[in-house]
Amino acid sequence: MNKHLYAPIALAISLATIGCQSSDIQHTTTTESVQTATQGNPFFAPFDTPYGMPDFANIKKSHYLPAFEHGIAENKQEIEQIANNTAEATFENTIEAMEKSGDFLDNVTNVFYGLTGSMSDKKMRAISKKVSPMLSALRDDIALNDKLFARVKSVYQQKDSLNLRTDQKTLLEKTYKGFVRGGANLNEADKQTLRDLNSQLSSLSLKFGENLLNETNSFEMVIDNPADLAGLPDDIIAAAATTAQERGHKGKWVFTTHRPSKNPFLTYSTNRSLREKIYKGYIMRGDNDNANNNQAIAAKMASLRFQKAQLLGYKTYADFVLERATAKTPENVFKLLDQVWPAALSKAQEERDDMQKMIDAEGGEFKVAAWDWWYYAEKIRKARYDIDESQTKPYFSLESTLQGVFYTAEKLWGVTFKERFDLPKYHEDVRTFEVFDKDSSFVGIYMTDHFVRESKRGGAWMSSFRKQYRMYGEEVTPIIYNVLNYPRPIGDQPTLLTFSQASTLFHEFGHAIQGLLSDGYYRSQTGTALPRDYVEYPSQVMENWMTEPEVLANFAKHYQTGEVIPQALVEKIQASGKFNQGFATTEYLAAALLDMSWHSLQTAELQDTNAFERKVMKEIGLIDEIAPRYRTGYYSHIFAGGYAAGYYGYIWSNIYDADTWLAFKENGIFDQETAQAYRKYVLEPGGMEDPAVMYRKFRGQDPDVAPLLERRGLTTK
């Protein structure tokens, strides 16, 4: 994801700029109260660890709440000192001082929300439930502080005469607009209304995510007849046996709606009724009329978001969100989606018809359904390209693929990775690497957490326990992590990845390398501090290198024999690259359009969620054999994450990606001039300047949609 990018609350805590500490602002918390809260709590002193990494071994769950309470109180005091400063407002004593406030709280949020994504349990969720409204209130206290806004506004009105650097101009602009968007211009009654809306949204978002985690973990399809495993690869059967034992079904096999379990079952199982069962178990999450039902929550959140947008002077919530995105307006988003949708849907209909022909030829007396798609797509892929996952997986062990990622980074930028086994980590699965630049200088720490477990939410993402910055006069290096959900190795066998899973590893590393190579002054601008519809671009670009013969020859080696992947198989992989793109693009676009429809509502009236979803799908003409990638009940991107009115961003970013890859293909995939320009203008700057401006500096032009359509096989010949 970004299939990545989470620590949603930690990111949201900043009102464009808030979330760092000032070394020159006095803290007035009493020594006695600090001593009471700090006893044995690692957050109340610099971590005494290599590289200042979080002291995971000594951080207890009981430490979080006192640390949050202290951090919130301290941040309030810092903000009050800035707001009540009697000196004339300047960039340094107001804008920069705000940027340097709240460092203690930032440290706590980075650790806590990093672990709630991957190490969640009832205690962590209970803490999150208590802290979430406290953070929401703090954000509102800052955004709605009249004295503070008056000082910010005073500096903003002088912006043209201050002789600021580019990053300072950006910081000032975003700070001012952040206050306006946070309700600073509202009257007192409306400010209270906004506080109430924000508090409700915060609590509902938390509940949505909690329900989804419970729903996902509770589903299990228990198989006790070996005949029902027909068609499944041995490693998938072994993993299901392990899951069964862990869940108390010894001697049986259990499949879940976690993707490493669900996807292979849908792809290979010959048992159509069981494919239907697990498919429906997946798409009905949050829509089962039980304690984990998310339908009413989603409808309520859409209503509250519309009310918030109206209160702030926007037509819809999508208008409010997109003002700060690269797309700028909902109209521009719909224009792009409308460009791609007809060709994608047409291609998907062709793919469906091909499947029906195969079913008919085999003597099947049924019409293809959604739970058949993966199964018949794989059969057609094998027949058409003489390739299936059983041929490719032995060459994509997790370890070799990770080394392929590192090889690519070294060839492009001279960056190297050295594994350390003695550094702090929050779970035994985590692997930790020191990262060095081409001149051998230290870059930062890279952590990976690869295997599925019930304490993790689904998907894959990147975030940071510490970002890069140097606003205190010295270089602070980043601590970046990737989290994925791969099947755990069985016995002495390595984890073997599907082509898609291997591609995801490259994708998430694309986010990580941006965090690692960040080169900025202000912490709020570094790394992936970018609009949602641009932040996926560097990660998507990274995927391209994986399928290049030179890269494959380096890492795609048979886990048993060490044989390099045969060139004939590489050619088959490349030839099949556009296969099933109608389905992939259509299910994605349907979800993007569902998101935009929820957030383009112009009414606060609560919607019948299922009826609303059916109406949207009917209007766009989605075929019955495909469901949107995310239905409302489990659409965590937009109801429990930061992607509301932003899920379209993956394809918007894809335009930049396709155009960038065209440059690398023209100049050479490891061409140093292109690689260094990409590093300088895309990876290093983060959010210090308008991303569209930075892209033009790299590419010399705006991106074109044509390479994207051609890549997906959606152009008309």
On the question of pLDDT at 13 being above 90, the answer is: no
Dist CA 497 CA 453 (whole Å) = 17
157 pLDDT above the threshold of 90: yes
Cα 186 to Cα 194: distance, rounded to the nearest angstrom: 9
Rounded CA-CA distance 650/584 in Å is 13
- Residue whose pair of structure tokens reads 């990976």 in the numeric block: 448
How many Å apart are CA 59 and CA 133, to the nearest integer? 23
What pLDDT score does 424 carry?
A: 98
CA-only gyration radius of the chain, Å: 25
Q: What is the side-by-side strand order in the sheet with 479-486?
A: 416-420, 431-436, 442-451, 479-486, 461-466
* Separation between Cα atoms, residue 277 and residue 425, nearest integer Å: 38
**CA–centroid distance for 548 within its chain:** 25
Residue 399: its pLDDT value, please?
97
Residue 25 scores a pLDDT above 50: no
pLDDT at 410: 98
The string of pLDDT tens digits covering residues 612-633 is 999 999 999 999 999 999 999 9
For residue 276, give every residue at least 6 positions away whose Cβ sits within 8 Å of its Cβ, in sequence order, or none.
369, 371
Output the pLDDT for position 37. Answer: 60
What pLDDT shows up at residue 10? 31
At 379, list the tokens: 């059969």
Cα–Cα separations (whole angstroms), residue 428 to 119, 450, 487, 634: 12, 11, 15, 29
Q: What pLDDT does 38 receive? A: 77
Look at 241 and 715; give whichever has higher pLDDT: 241
Asked whether the beta carbons of 416 and 429 are under 8 A apart, the reply is no
Measure Cα distances from 652 to 56, 600, 643 in Å. 38, 18, 13
- What gap in Å lies between CA 644 and CA 637, rounded to an integer? 7
Q: Which residue has the tokens 């509250």?
A: 304
Long-range (24+ apart) CB contacts under 8 A made by 421-430 are 422/50, 423/49, 423/50, 423/51, 423/53, 424/49, 424/50, 424/53, 424/54, 424/55, 424/56, 424/57, 425/56, 426/54, 426/56, 426/114, 426/115, 426/118, 426/119, 427/118, 427/119, 429/453, 430/481
pLDDT at 482: 98
Residue in the structure block whose two tokens are 């024999």? 561
Question: Are the beta carbons of 155 and 89 closer than 8 angstroms?
Answer: yes
State the pLDDT at residue 24.
Answer: 30
712 vs 409, residue with greater confidence: 409
Place of tokens 């709630």: 116
Using a 10 angstrom Cβ sphere, with 0-12 exposed, 13-18 middle and 19 or more buried, the burial of residue 288 is middle
Residues of the chain within CATH 1.10.1370.40 domain(s) are 8-143+145-181, 398-554
Residue 566 to residue 561: CA distance in whole angstroms? 13
**205, amino acid identity:** S
The number of helices, as runs of H, and strands, as runs of E, in the chain is 30, 7
What mean pLDDT do residues 634-646 have?
94
Mean pLDDT, all residues of the chain: 92
Please give the CATH topology (third level) of the domain spanning 8-143+145-181. Neurolysin; domain 3 (1.10.1370)
pLDDT of residue 16: 29
- The closest of 662, 660, 667 to 695, measured between CA atoms, is 660
Q: How many CB atoms lie within 10 A of CB 687?
A: 24
**Across 344-350, average pLDDT:** 96
The whole-angstrom separation of Cα 552 and Cα 241 is: 32
The CA-based angle 116-206-613, given to 5 degrees, is 125
Q: What residues are annotated to the active site?
A: 508
pLDDT of residue 208: 97
- Cβ contacts of 466 within 8 Å, gap of 6 or more: 52, 107, 110, 476, 477, 478, 479
d(CA 715, CA 717): 6
pLDDT for 717 beyond 90: no
Average pLDDT of the segment spanning 414-426: 98
Q: Is the pLDDT of residue 521 over 80?
A: yes
pLDDT at 57 over 90: yes
Element (H, E) at 141: helix 122-143
User: Given a cut of 50, is residue 519 above it in pLDDT?
Assistant: yes
pLDDT of residue 28: 36
pLDDT above 90 as % of the chain? 87
Q: For 474-518, how does the pLDDT look when each residue is reduced to its tens digit (9 = 90+)?
A: 999 999 999 999 999 988 899 999 888 999 999 999 999 999 999
Confidence bin at 574 (pLDDT 50/70/90):
confident
For the cut 90, the answer to whether the pLDDT of residue 36 exceeds it is: no
**The pLDDT of residue 18 is above 80:** no
Better-predicted residue by pLDDT, 121 or 2: 121
CA atoms in the 13 A half-sphere facing the CB of 180: 13
* Confidence at residue 35, expressed as pLDDT on a 0 to 100 scale: 54
Give the model's pLDDT for residue 709.
83
- pLDDT value for 575: 86
- pLDDT tens for 578-608 read 899 999 999 999 999 999 999 999 999 999 9
Closest CA to 213 of 116, 335, 345: 116
CA distance 154 to 179: 13
Q: What is the pLDDT of residue 463?
A: 97
Dihedral over Cα of 181, 186, 189, 190: its sign = negative
**296: helix, strand or coil:** helix
Q: Is the pLDDT at 23 greater than 60, yes or no?
A: no
271 vs 42: CA distance, rounded Å? 53
- In degrees rounded to 5, what are phi and psi of residue 431? -115, 145
* pLDDT tens digits along 551-565: 999 999 999 999 999
Class of domain 398-554: mainly alpha
Q: Tokens 């669900």 identify what position? A: 262
The answer to whether 507 touches 3, Cβ cutoff 8 Å, is: yes
CB-count burial class (<10 Å; 0-12, 13-18, 19+) for 117: buried
Which residues neighbour 101 within 8 Å (Cβ) at sequence distance 6 or greater? Answer: 18, 20, 21, 22, 25, 75, 78, 79, 82
CB atoms within 10 A of CB 604: 12
Instruction: State how far the Cα of 128 lies from the Cα of 112, in Å rounded to an integer.
Output: 9
Quote the pLDDT of residue 578. 86
Phi, psi angles (nearest 5°) of residue 143:
-65, -30
192 bridge partner residues? none
* Residue 343 C-beta-side C-alpha neighbours within 13 Å: 17
